[in-house]
Structure 1
């Protein structure tokens, strides 16, 4: 049997240690008391065709320096770039340089338009390769890791590792593979297998996400995708089942998100990479700060280029707010 040695401190020293410990424990709480919340960053298509990764490096460095809680990269490559293993690996190395946890959300340009050396489409093969390269475990990229939950943890959908979710500060965040090219719906004869199978997987995924957010009474749910599913443009009547939208690849997820959002007690923010439009429907200039547009409890923002930071203001209205990079103060990292 070993005896534990009792350490006794002089009264003044003990009191000093107690005060120091209390101050250290209270410091973060006091720092956050007047500025609750946190921020995350979204990298849009900052890459350029060709070997110059300068813009992407700059965007990653800027987002990392801002002390973001995490970064979401919406896409890996430009449409004009090669769908090669070499490029996939190079971009992954760049993402790993982020000092903040970085999560990849796939875009259509990463896989949907890829062709092999014979000029034939090989989107499915390239998508599976991306899953191997980027989504092989349950952690984010970046120098600091963030634990993720993936749809692939369900045996029925074990191929869909690109769909992941994580929770920060009372908000659930998730990626959904909805490519901007009409959700990769191919108007061809026969069964559109990739589109139809992914439609089933995404339907189960969205159902799970809203169930988690509702069950835990979370303040918000943020969905990252490449394509704009158009929830804010949807008419009330069109949320009902319809058989006239076969050519609309986003019809199913649009209806599902709209209906689930109506039952959810928190806010739903949809983040995609389509060009932002002004109040008259015209595309805004590249470099303009994107705005969040709201309809009831659903918000939508498009990140066209470079990167932006979005603040999550716990207990305040609005819950989500796009920050001006040049003037915004950094919120504490969580």
Structure 2
């Protein structure tokens, strides 16, 4: 007698039909949602990234208190600080770098030091624009103890600003004021445009813009002010004509155009070397429909860098380290500080 076969068990017919259909419908819905969301998300990400870029701004790392052993006998410390800042800034992959200053005030004003610092800056992984500082030339003296500030400034111009492009790796073409015959000595003043934002450098050193109160000794200041005035007017005219939404004006000294200084504060100074520049920038900014960001290297404390706004004029003070400036075209906050 053959053994009876075990009965074959079947699930209820309703479950056989309903469960697979429900799972299929859910899976199809999930796929369709993902397909529909992907282009929308891609469009959103693309719109958020369009035209957005960052700039690495290096403060004056050579000034006293910057932690580099400021002194005539320790240029190696200044080299190490600059090398570290360039490496850190380069890793952030900015569109370009702007560096303030070549040396500390107590370091020698020698060609050798200038040339070594130029070589170091030229090794930057990104294009680098140099902004001269007062410590690079204003206190320099010759072997007789007399000032040779103008001669040293001219030498710096020969070494750092002769080419119509930035230092470092990559190409960044610059428009230098020295291309104008009348101002052929002022190669350090430059402007360039990136993603419809105009960047402008201006030689306005700290410590009162190198204004000297002694009679007959202020020719350098007066001649430079003529050049600076012309360069500012040219830059603002360009930005207005091209309808650029933003400008970044970079200089070492804090001209104070973003704040209203009191009457007695002005009286307390024998001569404010920033007065003319401050008034001109304010006047031009009033007629400029975009946002103007002033960047200087006068930050002394260790608090995080931040932009302070007054109407359409913003102010960003840099310390001894580097700061990431984000530019987001089309945004109400065109300029922001910090990484992504």
Cα deviation for residue 235 of structure 1 reads 5.1
Cα deviation for residue 228 of structure 1 reads 0.2
Alignment TM-score, normalising by the size of structure 2 = 0.80
Cα deviation for residue 45 of structure 1 reads 2.1
SS in 2 for 1:196: helix
**Which has the bigger relative contact order, CA under 8 A and spacing at least 6?**
1
Q: Does the 8 A contact of 1:44 with 1:273 survive in 2?
A: yes
- Which has a greater percent of helix? 2
Q: 1:264-294 CA deviation, whole Å, 9 max, x = no partner?
A: 0100000000025xxxxxxx32xx3211000
Match of 1:306 among 311, 321, 334: 321
Cα deviation for residue 203 of structure 1 reads 0.4
Match of 1:163 among 189, 193, 201: 189
CA distance in 2, matches of 1:89, 1:213: 35
Q: Does the 8 A contact of 1:245 with 1:251 survive in 2?
A: no
Q: 1:207-250 CA deviation, whole Å, 9 max, x = no partner?
A: 00100001100011101101000112235999xxx999871110
Q: CA RMSD in A?
A: 2.2
1:134 to 2:148 alignment:
no
1:34 to 2:48 alignment:
yes
Cα deviation for residue 33 of structure 1 reads 2.4
SS in 2 for 1:207: helix
Match of 1:190 among 205, 216, 230: 216
Q: 1:128-180 CA deviation, whole Å, 9 max, x = no partner?
A: 00000001110100011200001111111100000010000111001100000
CA distance in 1, matches of 2:251, 2:46: 31
1:105-144 to 2 correspondence within 5 Å? 105-144=131-170
Q: Does the 8 A contact of 2:259 with 2:310 survive in 1?
A: no
Give the structure 2 partner of residue 212 of structure 1. 238
Give the structure 1 partner of residue 330 of structure 2. 315
1:86 to 2:112 alignment:
yes
Give the structure 2 partner of residue 7 of structure 1. none
Aligned residues: 286
Unmatched tracts of structure 1, length 5 or more:
1-27, 277-283, 330-334
Give the structure 2 partner of residue 11 of structure 1. none
Cα gap change, 1:32 to 1:88, in 2 (>3 Å): farther
SS in 2 for 1:208: helix
1:1-334 to 2 correspondence within 5 Å? 32-36=46-50, 37-47=52-62, 48=68, 49=70, 50=74, 51-52=76-77, 53-190=79-216, 192-234=218-260, 247-275=271-299, 284-285=301-302, 288-323=303-338, 328-329=339-340
Alignment TM-score, normalising by the size of structure 1 = 0.81
